[in-house]
């Protein structure tokens, strides 16, 4: 990647979670994707939102980048063709399906906890049990609005 007259070296494509179609759940978006520092993040990748310090990219503080600047991972993803692109897209689709399955399982678990909460009373502190009930009721309300895991409408 070249910025101005300097060559910028970023992590190798395919080594970060973004290039594999995943997100890193434990890393806040406000961290530099190279050094993990949190302050003075001046560069942002347009497609993925990853942030960088200009220093980490080897840029001076006065150098300007285009508004639609893309990180090396996004550039590598755009270059995938043919069978590689199909494998990537299939992997991303499978990760999305797993995520949806996880949400549906969490909703079923909450519904079961709400229905069986009286059985938990001797074993769970009252404050924790009330927290579980509130969370389960919230998910039940979300189902009624067509949220994730909502059952299909009854046949007419």
Residue 40, classed as helix, strand or coil, is coil
Q: Within 13 Å and on the Cβ side, how many CA atoms surround 156?
A: 0
Predicted pLDDT at 133: 79
Predicted pLDDT at 139: 67
Q: Which residues contact 131 (CB under 8 A, 6 or more apart)?
A: none
DSSP state of 151: P
Predicted pLDDT at 125: 87
Predicted pLDDT at 24: 44
pTM of the model: 0.40
Predicted pLDDT at 143: 58
Predicted pLDDT at 5: 52
Question: In tens digits, what is the pLDDT along the chain, a chain of 156 residues?
Answer: 444 555 555 555 445 544 455 544 444 557 888 888 877 778 888 888 888 888 888 888 888 888 888 888 888 888 888 888 888 889 888 988 988 888 888 888 877 877 887 888 888 888 888 887 787 777 666 655 444 444 444 444
Predicted pLDDT at 11: 52
Predicted pLDDT at 40: 79
H/E element, 118: helix 117-120
Cβ–Cβ < 8 Å for 100, 148: yes
Predicted pLDDT at 9: 55
Predicted pLDDT at 113: 78
């Amino acid at each position: 990647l070249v910025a101005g007259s300097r060559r910028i070296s970023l992590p190798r494509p395919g080594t970060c979670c973004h290039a594999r179609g995943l997100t890193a759940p434990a890393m806040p978006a406000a961290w530099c994707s190279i050094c993990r520092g949190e302050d003075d993040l001046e560069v942002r990748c347009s497609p993925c939102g990853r942030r960088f310090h200009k220093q980490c990219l080897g840029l001076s503080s006065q150098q300007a980048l285009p508004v639609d600047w893309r990180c090396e991972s996004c550039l590598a993803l755009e270059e995938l063709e043919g069978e590689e692109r199909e494998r990537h897209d299939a992997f991303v689709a499978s990760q999305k399906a797993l995520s949806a399955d996880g949400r549906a399982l969490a909703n079923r678990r909450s519904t079961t906890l709400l229905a069986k909460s009286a059985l938990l009373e001797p074993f769970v502190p009252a404050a924790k049990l009330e927290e579980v009930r509130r969370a389960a009721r919230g998910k039940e309300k979300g189902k009624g609005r067509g949220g994730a895991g909502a059952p299909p409408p009854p046949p007419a």
